Amino acid sequence: MTSQDGSGTSRTQFRALLACLRPEQWTKNLLVFAALIFAQKLLVVGLVLRAVAAFVVFCAASSACYLVNDVLDAPRDRSHPAKCRRPVASGELPATVALVAAAALAIAAMVGGLVLSVRFGGVVAAYLVLQIAYSLFLKHEVILDVLCIAAGFLLRASGGAVVIEVEISNWLVICAGLLSLFLALAKRRHELLQLEGAVNHRRALAEYSPQLLDQMIAVVTASTLVAYSLYTMAPETVTKFGHDHLKLTIPFVLFGIFRYLYLVYSKEQGGSPSQHLLTDRPLLIDVFLFAVVSAWIVSRPH
């Protein structure tokens, strides 16, 4: 009986550990492929394999950070209507097991990053440091919290450029950064409206108001659309691709942002961008079409 109980406990903890890795959040790491597409390297098999390896490395690194975050947030998560069901907060997964797994994943990510290249290993190290600092104290600092989330996305995008050894485009930094801010602000708005005791759960939330977040979302939304539109028609973009057809992808960006705003304001969602990407069919189709059309346009001969 003891052996069976022990085996059952191990299986339960293993399932809980898998849940804490948050594989549904790995869609964020798809940003590493942005440089591959827009650098016109999508048909270079060796570089595609390096980008896939970079994606795996970031999945390991991000999961390590999720585990650490869950351990640090467990006391506050127990008072959250949804996060109280997280394995560490609920007691289903011991904190020590979560921390050991986090250390193993972080080491694996660093080793994998350095194997790909020293520069890429540096990007992975910067990502890990940023995420741990965010979990420890930066998440409690108003405005800095959303900027840190955006910086995490930028490091993913930059890592994708570094690993295939292409120049990091200023347009990539601007567009990815603004889009990341848009998603982070929408997430904060959802959290603020869902939590009555915002001060007790996270100090930074108490510094925000729905009106302030609405203003910030409006500014970032307009900036994102303008920045991407300017990028598609910029002289250097036209020169690089030999045509201005990339502007045909603007409607997909418009629809994607407007659809997300619809989910945020009409459906009171926005708490999990990754979940919406996987479950909202119109948004999923739009992102897929954007990726396909973009890849086709940039790979066309001059």
Whether the pLDDT of residue 2 is over 60: the answer is no
pLDDT in tens, 9-53: 677 788 888 888 888 888 889 989 988 888 888 888 999 999 999
Of the candidates 266, 170, 260, 268, the one whose C-alpha atom is nearest the C-alpha of residue 217 is 260
234: left (phi over 0), alpha (psi -120 to 50) or beta: beta
pLDDT of residue 269: 72
Distance CA 159, CA 152 (A): 11
CA distance linking residue 210 with residue 91, whole number of Å: 33
Phi, psi at 74, each rounded to 5°: -50, -45
Q: Does 175 have pLDDT greater than 60?
A: yes
Where is pLDDT greater, at 272 or 159? Answer: 159
- The larger pLDDT score, comparing residue 184 to residue 76, is at 184
Q: Which of 26, 84, 55 lies closest to 278, judged by CA?
A: 26
* 50, 129, 198, 249 from 101: Cα distances, Å: 25, 17, 30, 41
* Model confidence pLDDT, tens digit, residues 63-101: 999 999 889 888 877 776 667 778 888 878 888 988 999
Percent of the residues in the chain that have a pLDDT greater than 70, as a whole number: 91
pLDDT of residue 1: 42
**Residue 19: its pLDDT value, please?**
85
Task: Indicate the pTM of the whole model.
Answer: 0.85
Q: Give pLDDT, residue 86.
A: 80
Rounded Cα distance, 51 and 73, in Å: 32
Question: Chain-centre distance of CA 72, in angstroms?
Answer: 20
- Which of 212, 148, 202, 140 is closest to 177 using CA atoms? 148
- Distance, in Å, from the CA atom of 67 to the CA atom of 131, rounded to the nearest integer, reads 11
Q: Are 136 and 72 in contact (CB under 8 A)?
A: yes
pLDDT at 301: 61
Domains of the chain: 21-299 (1.10.600)
Angle of the 170-194 helix axis to the 210-233 helix axis, nearest 10: 160
